Structure 1
Amino acid sequence: MTAHPKVVIVGAGIVGCALGDELTARGWTDVTVLEQGPLFATGGSSSHAPGLVFQTNSSKTMTEFARYTVDKYSALSLDGQWCFRKVGGLEVATTPERVEELKRKHGYAASWGVRAHLLDADQCAELHPLLDRSQVLAGFHTPDDGLAKALRAAEAQARRAIARGARFLGHHTVTGIDSAHGRVAAVVTDQGTFPADVVVSCAGFWGPRIGRMAGLAVPLVPMAHQYARTTPVPALAGHNSELLEASKPILRHQDRDLYFREHVDRIGIGSYAHRPMPVDLAEVAAPGGPVMPSMKAFTAEDFEPAWNDSKTLLPALAGTKVEEGFNGIFSFTTDGFPLLGEAPELRGFWVAEAVWVTHSAGVAQAVAEWLVEGRPRTDLHECDLNRFEQVQLAPSYVHRRSCQNFVEVYDILHPLQPMAEPRPLRVSPFHTRQRELGAVFLEASGWERPHWYEANADLPEVAGIPGRGEWASRYWSPIAGAESLATRERVALYDMTALKRLEVTGPGALGFLQYLTTNQLDKPVGSVTYTLLLDEAGGVRSDLTVARLGEHRFQVGANGNLDLDWLTRHLPEDSTVQVRDITAGTCCLGVWGPLARELVQPLTDADFSHRGFGYFKARHAYLGNVPVTAMRLSYVGELGWELYTTADAGPRLWDTLWRAGRPLGLVAAGRSAFNSLRLEKGYRSWGTDLTVEHNPYEAGLGFAVRMDKGDFLGRDALVGLGEETVSRRLTCLLLDDPQAVVMGKEPVYVDGAPAGYVTSAAYGYTVGRSIAYAWLPTAAAVPGNRVHVEYFGERLPATVAQEPLFDPEMARIRR
């Protein structure tokens, strides 16, 4: 690619305009933005978006997107008119459950650096006098939230891009994407062909249509969402000018799936309280006609309950009526996050889809950094286009999950709460046996994963497991604690099948993996190595276990589809390396506990002694009649092995171990116990405890970096860094109250001010303490230091602890 490539952006909505601005500001000025409709009221979602911007989100990334959007649009104007007004945001609670949710949201705001305050009912009514004080229990106020004028902000950014050399062309309908040798080459329109080195689809709900032209499935569903305006509200008379439009905070009544904003002397009402209304693109009119294609006819019957709820909360509406309304089309995805990144099979074709006005400038900044600098400075793993497994791209799956996301957009959702449908989708070969044992399944990446087993309810350890608060006790059972203790005291089976497994083969396999990872992999066959994937700036993209099973064959334990995508993108062009996802055809059981050797050794002729089968080693063996690849490693801090076999032999492997293990007190154990055990050992979970925003030394993973092994991706960025140079650390905290189990993302206060946030947390049943890992400034991450964790509005005292909490000498694993 040239230093200043030809870029074609498809779509001149607010995302396309923002991206044109961000790219040209970074020196990429050969930018053409193609729009099928007129400029700049294009007919897409931006053209009718009500413009409410609430920054606080459970996702740090989404909050950062929104914060940048607020900052950027606040500084923009168009012909003297404002593009963003910080009227503030107010969310009100009318149920006790929502009061608690607002406390949790206040914690998110503190964690991510958003100004916010919890209010009582009187303060809410003072801030927004139209409220019925008797309906409100509490509120959450964010002074820096406000209203974005999407069309003004779009055009203002487009003008800046044009001044730097960009072209914006309206009434150009894209009809095809040309490619050559696996790379994008041009965008074909009804007005001509535009050569391109990079194409970015910012087409919004038309994104799937553009994606199909490039051979890409864009997993989003266009859905209609109701918005209405009232007749004039007498109580608003004289309060707002036509220029400023609004003076009161934008308002959310999430207990009834509603939001409100002022339009001078009228109130605009948005509702998610109706049935999902997926839209078939074939039925959407082309832009430029008398009716905006993204605005469907208003269905008054769907809005009736929302109208009644609106009048209850805002009695001033009682003398008004709905003057106008429409069902506006927006994009929804299966997990609620945008779709950002490069297509896996067509280099140079990028997407920035399912992006709402709230996050538009932040997304554009991240994508521009990605294109120009080679990496975004914000962690995008939640938003990466390539995050989905193949089964999650089925049209029926995308449709069902996206509709459910619409239904739940304002719901109070627990961090562990799974989608209800379609399930079960992916099951391990052990699924039948697990159901017989009363497994309670949650779901991840389509996989059914046991979190505990009701068959273990009669374990004697259950009686001694401490209780926990109402929120933390959801999707949890004291049985999980008994399974954890049984692992420490005897032996347990853990289903590890859902973890991604990749096979890397070929004469260039070793060199390929050596360059992409941080640790030394040039070891004898039978070695297993814990290592990291870094990006060019030294950020941790993932952590892996790499087993050398042959001279030119490696098995890689990965974190998900993004690792497969990363490895695939870096394959050499000489075909000396092949990467294959073997997850579906294989399965894995973790056998861990002090009696693990007593369980497996009688089942095999292979030597499973400590001397004969050392730690972080792998070998092929037979357990009974089942061929396995055994790897001696442990994510729970106990003696044991990961046992891999083919999916067809999985049930036999389970039965063989189960029959042999019952006299030893073997139990099946789930993910809840697993998480507790790994935190006692201080083992990190990528994507939760650390992301690409962190380097290995900050995360406590410097031991996995071998600077003397030769060149590897990200090495240059680590030169001069070490444990002694870091300004922040992933830190172990012990809460004073054993029943105060937090869930993650809570703010951590040092000397009364928010200084970091929790990543993972669990009760440690072996150590008898509530554990939370958190990012803290180095000066605060000193063992013995006192801090506080905010949990539902309460400051919980905690102490920085030396890690690992359990078996620091590694004696239990290495015996």
Structure 2
Amino acid sequence: MSRTPTTAARVVIIGAGIVGCSLADELTSRGWSDVTVLEQGPLPAPGGSTSHAPGLVFRTNPSRTMTEFAVYTAEKFAGLDVDGLPCFHQVGGLEVATTPERWADLHRKAGHAASWGVDGELITPERCAELWPLLDPGQVLGGFHTPGDGLVRAVLACRAQTRRAEERGARFLERHTVTGIERTDGRVTGVVTDRGAFPADVVISAAGFWGPVIGRLAGVPVPLLPLAHQYVRTAPLPELDGVNDPRTEAGRPILRFQDADLYFREHTDRIGIGSYDHRPLPVDPFTLPAYDDAEVMPSSLAFTENDFARGWERSARLLPALATSRVEEGFNGVFSFTSDGMPVLGESRELRGFWLAEAVWVTHSAGVAKAVAEWLTDGRPSVDVHECDLHRFEDVQLSPGYVAERGARQFVEVYDIVHPLQPAERPRPLRVSPFHARQRELGAVFLESGGWERPHWYEANAPLAASVDVPVRDAWSARHWSPIAAAEARATRERVALYDMTPLRRLEVTGAGALDFLQRMTTNQLAKRPGAVTYTLLLDGAGGIRSDLTVARLGERHFQVGANSAQDLDWLLRHAPDDVRVRDATSGTCCVGVWGPLARALVQPLTRDDFSHRAFGYFRAGRTWIGDVPVTAMRLSYVGELGWELYTGADTGLRLWDTLWEAGRDLGVIAAGRSAFDSLRLEKGYRAWGQDMTTEHDPYEAGLGFAVRMDKGDFTGRDALAGRSARSPGRRLACLTLDDPAAVVLGKEPVYADGSVVGYVTSAGYGWTVGRTVAYAWLPAAHAVPGTAVSVEYFGEKVPATVTEEPLVDPGMSRIRR
């Protein structure tokens, strides 16, 4: 949805917490003046999470998007004040390590900060004590200091933004409880409250932990779990007497003691302590009292003293001055968690005009509001938000049980050291392919993504690893990894392997207008004869890459689309005309990738159709039989070897696997997992959407200009690409190889040239064919020239690397086109 200020929508925002107030300010600053903010409690502190928030803004996050949100929040609030009182106090942040594992993690975090442009420094225990004199330096191994972080006075920031928004025409109405969402023909038309109805073209739920309540009124699931989090203030400390200005309250950095799940901030002469060091305390938002019925306010629940006992003991160990103090006041404050720890943003497809801006903490509030306001007024956010999109969830991830289980786990892991590949333990398994039983027999080690159980390697292949030279890995890169992956990659290059590709999303696009629709939506030429397969891109209106697809034309009006996520389905469904049907076929089907130089020797005896290169060329598709199983075969390869993707129904999937397995015994067939798959695709330079490129990148920057046909007619994003070419980018996605064959990086590390950070790694893995780690990184065009020497920082160590021509393996494509 995109409107100009002259045709601006009537907007109703539900919730006047920090997100709702920020949204009103951001929208009115862009010319949308017909904005009404409805709040069930009194203003300016209506009793939600904002009213009790400690106001911490730590900008560094493994997610670049979340870092961008926090950076904007700090910058914006630093420029706001109310009657001379600043809304943001830049005291800085300090994280301390008391274990070797945490100290190593702070080095990794410093790398994230450098990658995303956040100023930070690893410091000694003595320097930690200088920044926080109450801290016992003998307890810590070191710290990470980020001077640009700080404290937001959340209620004050709401007041400042409310004033600005009101000056531009917005209105804020307190004590209006929403009782209904009106709609006509699938579009929102208004909001009903206990004090009247308000017509609207756009409704934004920024209700915080009441989001599920508003969602139920709209018929839109809001997958978040409210949880209580303990916060206390100590009695006055003599050590702080006269140290801090009561107007700003704090002078020392926010202190995070993550090994004990604690954080600390000053309140003039007291210390505020927040604790995650207690059992999850879920809260049912449907049973919370109204403001006037609450003992303090709805978001402030009674303090459970026993839950804080260990937290107090650990606090006194780090800050000895607390040993003679006490907890003077405490409460259990309610705020929101999602199953993956990210916000929930975007417009519902089922109820057009109904938007969510939920599960947002003060830390990211203004950044989120800016993104949503851009989304509404410009049609897209300027920052990639795919990690936050409400349509990222699979159906199985929306069940109340899943949201509760994973949401509670996110609370437990807030300060844990979590490996990027670390899977959740429960609830599993949820989604399994028809081959699951056979995979277990082969000793598959499963990780999980999108609810799917995905084999990463097979213990049955361990004997093959004995003959492969595998460099010794450090403890971090060795987690959720096995040298068996090397043997599986080699077997794929030398013989043939079966890969379970079932989790790849498959969409069916059919109907009289199917071809015209896909031509308008994607960048490549799809007007080809049935049997053709085409690699193409989905762009947004600004030319940013929303996704990459493979489109197989199976009939005149029948296309199978290989997509990346549920967001692709949502995008196509939103734009499909009446004569086009878009259906997700993933759950009812399955897929085996048969890849390797012996793939044809395996498959050809099982079918009467000609699978020769001449009869069944690369990027072709056709229906056939493999043994007794009907399949759709596509001549594609994500690993750079000869082979096919074989699709069939879920009911015949196991028979397909067994047929291929039995026929491949004499050829030395193996089952191979995602770890080998990622290694092989990096060696071939195949991009992974969401990691290597997003809406922030155009096809030419990402090295995908070959998938754009500007002469085919109009398509989404075409106008934005006019004048751009492979020669024009100021930045590029470049292939790096680490100079040391034993060195490893995993992704998101900063890249240095001439002593300065010039870019960051997107994805990386060991290339078993080339014998060294392969990394892709965004670099300025001047540094993306093959032969350029750079270095990648890994846990504080600068690892030499070289920009390399791509692809590293089989640039002439002879192996695939045998």
TM-score, scaled relative to structure 1: 0.99
Q: Deviations over 1:494-550 (max 9, x none)?
A: 000001100000000000000000000000000000000000000000000000001
Matching residue of 2:353: 348
Other-structure match for 1:806: 809
Matches within 5 A, 1:124-273: 124-273=128-277
SS in 2 for 1:723: coil
- Conserved in 2, the CA contact under 8 Å of 1:735 and 1:771? yes
Q: Residue 367 of structure 1: which of 361, 364, 372 is its match?
A: 372
Task: Compute the displacement of 1:282 (Å).
Answer: 3.1
For residue 467 of structure 1, report the CA deviation from its aligned partner.
2.4
Q: d(CA) in 2 for partners of 1:712 and 1:765?
A: 39
Amino acid in structure 1 at the alignment position of 2:432: V
Contact 2:212 2:285 in 1 (8 A): no
| Residue 357 in structure 1 maps to residue 362 in structure 2 | yes
> 1:538-566, CA deviations, whole angstroms, 9 ceiling, x for partnerless residues?
00000000000010000000001000000
User: Per-residue deviation at 1:319?
Assistant: 1.1
User: What letter corresponds to residue 43 of structure 1 in structure 2?
Assistant: G
What are the Cα deviations for residues 602-649 of structure 1, in whole angstroms up to 9, with x where unaligned? 000000000000000000010100000000010000000000000000
Q: Is residue 670 of structure 2 the alignment partner of residue 653 of structure 1?
A: no
Deviation of 1:186 (Å) = 0.5
Q: Which residue of 2 aligns with 1:379?
A: 384
**Among 617, 621, 625, the residue aligned to 2:620:** 617
Aligned residues: 813
Corresponding residue of 1:32: 36
**SS of residue paired to 2:736:** strand
Q: Distance in 2 between matches of 1:500 and 1:25?
A: 40
Alpha-carbon distance in 2 for matches of 1:735, 1:470: 19
Tell me how far apart the structure 2 counterparts of residues 624 and 741 of structure 1 sit (CA, whole Å).
43
**CA distance in 2: counterparts of 1:793 and 1:91, whole angstroms:** 16
Offset from partner CA, 1:379-404 (integer Å, 9 cap, x none): 00000011001110000000000000
- SS of 2:115's equivalent in the other structure is helix
Q: Tell whether the 8 Å contact from 1:788 to 1:797 is kept in structure 2 after alignment.
A: yes
After TM superposition, list the pairs within 5 Å mapping 1:577-726 onto structure 2: 577-726=580-729
Partner deviation per Cα, 1:189-220 (whole Å, 9 max, x = no partner) = 00100000000000000000001111101000
Unaligned runs of 5+ in 1: none
Distance (whole Å) between structure 2 residues aligned to residue 62 and residue 616 of structure 1 = 38
Checking the alignment, whether the CA contact within 8 Å between 1:469 and 1:739 is kept in structure 2 is: no
- Structure 1 residues 295 and 660 mapped into 2: Cα distance closer, same or farther (>3 Å)? same
Structure 1 residue 94 and structure 2 residue 85: aligned? no
Post-superposition shift, 1:412?
A: 0.1
Cα distance, 1:225 vs structure 2: 0.2
Partners in 2 of 1:772 and 1:527 — Cα distance? 32
State the distance in 1 between where 2:605 and 2:174 align: 74
Residue 108 of structure 1 contacts residue 745 of structure 1 at CA under 8 Å; is this kept in 2? yes
How much is the aligned-residue C-alpha RMSD, in angstroms?
0.8
Asked whether 1:300 is paired with 2:295, we answer: no
Question: Paired residue for 2:791?
Answer: 788
Partner of 1:553: 558
**Counterpart AA for 2:526:** L
Cα drift, residue 460 of structure 1? 5.4
Check the 8 A contact 1:43/1:288 in 2, yes or no.
no
SS at match of 1:464: coil
Structure 1 residue 463: deviation in Å?
A: 3.7
Q: 1:739 Cα deviation (Å)?
A: 2.0
Tell me the distance in 2 between the aligned counterparts of 1:757 and 1:706.
Answer: 29
Q: Take 1:152 and 1:319, find their aligned partners in 2: how far apart are those partners? A: 33
Cα distance between partner residues in 2 of 1:555 and 1:374:
28
Aligned to 2:462: 457
Kept in 1: contact 2:11–2:202 (CA 8 A)? yes
Asked whether the 8 Å contact 1:748–1:790 carries over to 2, the reply is: yes
Q: Using the alignment, how far apart are the partners of 2:746 and 2:67 within structure 1? A: 19
CA distances 1:672-693 after superposition (whole Å, capped 9, x unpaired): 0000000000000000011010
**Which residue number in structure 2 is paired with residue 737 of structure 1?**
740
Question: Which residue identity does 1:38 align to in structure 2?
Answer: P
Equivalent residue number for residue 17 of structure 1:
21
Contact 1:38 1:288 in 2 (8 A): no
Secondary structure of the corresponding residue to residue 184 of structure 1: strand
How far does residue 242 in structure 1 lie from its aligned partner after superposition?
Answer: 1.0
Separation in 1 of the partners of 2:813 and 2:227? Answer: 54
The Cα of 1:461 is off from its aligned counterpart by: 5.7
Does structure 2 conserve the Cα–Cα contact (< 8 Å) formed by 1:465 and 1:482? no
| CA deviation vs aligned residue, 1:712-760 (integer Å, no higher than 9, x gap) | 0000000000111100000010111222211100000011100100011
* Correspondent of 1:339 among 329, 344, 359: 344
One-letter amino acid of the counterpart of residue 174, structure 1: V
1:512 aligned partner, one-letter code? F
Residue equivalent to 1:494:
499
1:746 to 746, 749, 755: 749
Q: How far off its partner does 1:357 sit? A: 0.2
Please report how far the alpha carbon of residue 29 of structure 1 lies from its aligned counterpart in structure 2 after TM superposition.
Answer: 0.3
Q: How many Å separate the matches in 1 of 2:642 and 2:677?
A: 14
Quote the Cα distance in structure 1 between the aligned partners of 2:621 and 2:645. Answer: 9
| Distance in 1 separating the partners of 2:742 and 2:436 | 32
Q: Distance in 2 between matches of 1:578 and 1:463?
A: 49
Q: CA deviation at 1:462?
A: 4.6
Mapped partners of 1:152, 1:750: distance in 2: 43
What secondary structure is seen at the aligned counterpart in 2 of 1:725?
coil
Amino acid paired to 2:382: R
- The whole-number CA distance in structure 2 between the counterparts of 1:174 and 1:89 is 38
Q: Which stretch shifts more, 605-614 or 464-473?
A: 464-473
Helix, strand or coil: the match of 2:226? strand
Instruction: Please tell me the residue identity of whatever aligns with 2:619.
Output: F
| Partner AA of 1:339 in structure 2 | V
CA distance, structure 1, for counterparts of residue 137 and residue 469 of structure 2: 46
Q: Give structure 2 stretches of 5+ with no counterpart.
A: none
Q: Say which SS state the counterpart of residue 245 (structure 1) adopts.
A: coil
1:533 aligns with 2:538: yes
The answer (yes or no) to whether the contact 1:616–1:631 under 8 Å persists in 2 is yes
Three-state SS of the structure 1 residue aligned to 2:278 is coil
Determine what percentage of the aligned residue pairs are the same residue.
70
Q: Does 1:571 align with 2:576?
A: yes
Partner letter of residue 772 of structure 2? R
The separation in 1 between residues aligned to 2:571 and 2:280, in whole angstroms, is 35
Q: Which secondary structure state, in structure 2, belongs to the residue aligned with residue 46 of structure 1?
A: helix
**Letter aligned with residue 756 of structure 1:** G
Given that 1:462 and 1:479 are in contact with CA atoms closer than 8 Å, whether structure 2 keeps it comes out as no
Partner of residue 112, structure 1: 116
2:357 aligned partner, one-letter code: A
Work out the CA distance in 1 between the residues paired with 2:349 and 2:496: 42
- Is 1:43 the counterpart of 2:35? The answer is no
Q: Which residue of 2 aligns with 1:762?
A: 765
Alignment CA distance shift 1:484-1:383 (3 Å):
same
> For the residues of structure 1 that align with 2:778 and 2:256, how far apart are their CA atoms?
31
CA–CA distance in 2 between the matches of 1:462 and 1:203?
59
Deviation at 1:653, TM superposition (A): 0.3
- Deviation (angstroms), 1:283: 2.8
What is the CA deviation profile of residues 467-500 of structure 1, one whole-angstrom value per residue up to 9, with x for unaligned ones? Answer: 2221111111000010000000000000000011
2:160 is paired with a residue whose SS is helix
Q: So what's the TM-score if we normalise by structure 2?
A: 0.99
Whether the 8 Å CA contact 1:759–1:772 is kept in 2: the answer is yes
Is the aligned partner of 1:82 residue 2:86?
A: yes
